[in-house]
Structure 1
């Protein structure tokens, strides 16, 4: 029987080794509980109310038992359960309604074009720093009603906070806590400003609801700023990685921009930034022959589920195909709150990039995070046919 070491930076959750294990059984033992490998079992367990979101214990699993980061982590939406989770989530939902986000599409397009204008005549781009990061950060600033020209600082904080999802979190605490302090102070100033002069934005909406304490509001906004930027930036880099491995699909997306939304789903099925979703058993659970004791951890491996031939008989990458829903945004009561923002901003960006970066190919390997935990590109240089000016 295999036993996977999820904390090993060299371990790749998308590897042949994982696929081979999936053929043997629906789960495998790991250093952090059991990994669930098949689509049907992942779908069932993500919605099973005998489990809670398993992230609350993440700092402790990595030897972090106290301090600013550990305390904040316990209070984020990701770790909360029950009434507190329901109350805070309910207040956040209106800001993320489909209609509200759909109305922002033209603004998203404007930001994407402006960023591409800067490098299209050059025929070369370092994709992470010149597009994915500013695009994701500016959209978060827009959503929270923060000045767009503050995006580099917000991005730096979000980037440093992103280390809290990495498998090296134990060594990153000072960096994480410095970013947490900076972003918290910044968000608290924005809250105070909206109390004095309300505006038409998410922060004002939450302030005026008067159902969150200032502390809850600060924790929620810091988490939104970091989670929203970090995952979108990473997922855009992974989308380009996958699309450039399939040049026919890249060309097709340029020709048929209406496939943008479907391309996002297909990319997240085969190359998700959130490579696993964690659940913790609230009681002793018997599930398909596996005994999971109370407090037992199960990791749902998104790529293994998304490419499971039992659910997707032909799992090869194809942006024209309709697939069963992937698990890249989780599921159940902890389904990602910002999923519609991420889906919209990526479905706007990808066709524009394909149209304005014809014949794109990677220029060297780039630098990538381990393919475990939350993954993505640290740098990704790309060459393409330059736009004539």
Structure 2
């Protein structure tokens, strides 16, 4: 493991860097700040405690190792009643799949199932149909001038896809989408009190919605994932109330994961395309490069920029001492631009050898990764085939977040 070293650390300048990261300018382009953080070493102390990791190799190692744990329910309780980890929304999230450690994680992941080939093909038909409909609406709007791609397409495709799969009424989709935007603040790097309050309220409403859904599906089961999860959990849990709650947590997790990060992926992918006319021409001539373009988008500017883990034992990371129970924040966005992993990391190049950790890694590798790729590739294929090149009308604005990126607008017009 090596010998512990004392990293050069100026707390005041570190606080300044993270303060800049939380500004609109820092949220629009965090990469110069990441570069300054990387100059402090691949692992450095976080101003609020724990460590920050910007090295791709160290991030990858932590994600793949079972020595690093999720901040689960027990860990959050140990942080004390006055901390953000014990906000109602945080406690609720601690029972969802991404916050579980083995053996609980193993049990719930098996119960969730996977997006196998047949499921992906079934969902793919919905994705293709909805994408066509959304681009029809976009094209009509563009005939009158500019249009907000994020609102008309990126936000709509994920909720239509997952809403149809779960069998949720379409009239509920707009509210669920807004609740998801609010709920994600509890998973942010440093949420404010007002953001946590939004998240707490959204989480309570989502719990009411999905628990009611589970009860209705139990009374009238159908050929849908929620009904199948009820059948599965009835074989795993004798207490029916506990079984229903387990199904609720699965449905909540699927909704949150499918909407927020996928819509951001679609918007960032399209932004990168319209900013680079040569790339549009390249894809039009070589549509077989669409999957590579999506993967490079995930590397170049991933939807999630921070993943957190907790040390299960004392250890050293690149000579930095980390104590048991301490948290490390993996700056995925910074790791993806690590020059030790990628040459010319600040260049967007879909022809490069792919390599990213946008979907995490190890036992917590993203369950919905096939679905996110399906939506992104389907949209990109249709964009380059159906529309003449789009142009950016104005620079987008970004939501006040660090970990979970989100474009508030992507205003485009026909070139």
Judge same fold: TM > 0.5, yes or no: yes
Q: Give the equivalent residue in structure 1 for 2:22.
A: 9
2:222 aligned with 1:191, yes or no? no
Structure 1 unmatched ranges of 5 or more: none
Deviation at 1:293, TM superposition (A): 0.7
CA contact (8 A) 2:274 2:280 kept: yes
SS in 2 for 1:44: helix
> 1:181 and 1:372, CA in 2 relative to 1: closer, same or farther beyond 3 A?
closer
Closer/same/farther in 2, CA of residues 169 and 240 from structure 1, 3 Å limit? farther
**1:334 matches 2:368:** no
Going from structure 1 to structure 2, the CA distance change for 1:359 and 1:151 (only over 3 Å counts) comes to same
Equivalent of 1:83 in 81, 103, 114? 103
Question: How far off is 1:192 after superposition?
Answer: 2.1
Shifted more, 254-263 versus 13-22: the winner is: 13-22
Matched, 1:110 2:129: yes
- Aligned to 2:52, the other structure's residue is in SS state strand
The secondary structure found in structure 1 opposite 2:97 is coil
Report SS of the residue matched to 1:368.
coil
TM-score, normalised relative to structure 1 = 0.90
Is the aligned partner of 1:221 residue 2:234? no
Tell me what 2:52 maps to: 35
Q: 2:199 aligns with which of 176, 181, 199?
A: 176
The residue number in structure 1 matching 2:398 is: 368
Q: Which residue of 1 aligns with 2:348?
A: 317
Aligned mates of 2:125, 2:54 — CA distance in 1: 39
Matched, 1:261 2:295: no
1:1-389 pair list within 5 angstroms: 1=8, 4-5=14-15, 6=18, 9-10=22-23, 11=26, 14-22=30-38, 25-32=41-48, 33-54=50-71, 63-64=83-84, 66=86, 68-94=88-114, 96-123=115-142, 124-166=146-188, 167-209=190-232, 210=234, 211=236, 213-315=243-345, 316-324=347-355, 326-370=356-400, 372-385=402-415
Inter-CA distance 137–262: structure 2 relative to 1 (3 Å threshold): same
Shift of 1:58: 7.5
Other structure's SS at 1:172 match: helix
Count residues with an aligned counterpart: 383
Partners of 2:85 and 2:61 in 1: CA distance = 31
1:294 Cα deviation (Å)? 1.0
Match of 2:240 in 1: none
- Rounded to whole Å, the distance in 2 between the matches of 1:268 and 1:55 is 27
Q: Could you say what the CA RMSD is over the residues aligned between the two structures, in angstroms? A: 2.5
On the 8 A contact 2:90/2:186 being kept in 1, the answer is: no
Task: Tell me if structure 2 keeps the 8 A contact 1:14–1:371.
Answer: no
Query: Contact (CA 8 Å) 2:284, 2:384: kept in 1 or not?
Result: yes
**2: distance between equivalents of 1:71 and 1:42?**
26
Please say if residues 89 and 200 of structure 2, whose CA atoms lie closer than 8 Å, have aligned partners that are also in contact: yes
Q: Secondary structure at the match of 2:99?
A: coil
- Call closer, same or farther: CA 1:264–1:169 in 2, change over 3 Å: farther
Which moves more between the two structures, 160-169 or 214-223? Answer: 160-169
Structure 2: distance between partners of 1:16 and 1:86: 39
CA distance in 1, matches of 2:105, 2:298: 26
CA distance, structure 1, for counterparts of residue 161 and residue 245 of structure 2: 24
Q: 1:204 to 1:275 in 2, by over 3 A?
A: same
Moved more, 337-346 or 308-317: 308-317
**Displacement of 1:287:** 2.9
Deviates more, 1:176-185 or 1:23-32: 23-32
CA contact (8 A) 2:58 2:317 kept: no
In 2, the alpha carbon distance for the partners of 1:14 and 1:70 equals 26
Q: Structure 1 residues 377, 116: CA separation in 2 closer, same or farther (over 3 Å shift)? A: same
The 2-side partners of 1:199 and 1:135 are apart by: 24
**Bigger CA drift: 131-140 or 179-188?**
179-188
Q: Distance in 1 between matches of 2:410 and 2:230?
A: 39
- Structure 1 residues 21, 159: CA separation in 2 closer, same or farther (over 3 Å shift)? closer
Alpha-carbon distance, 1:28 to partner: 2.5
User: What's the offset of the Cα at 1:360?
Assistant: 1.6
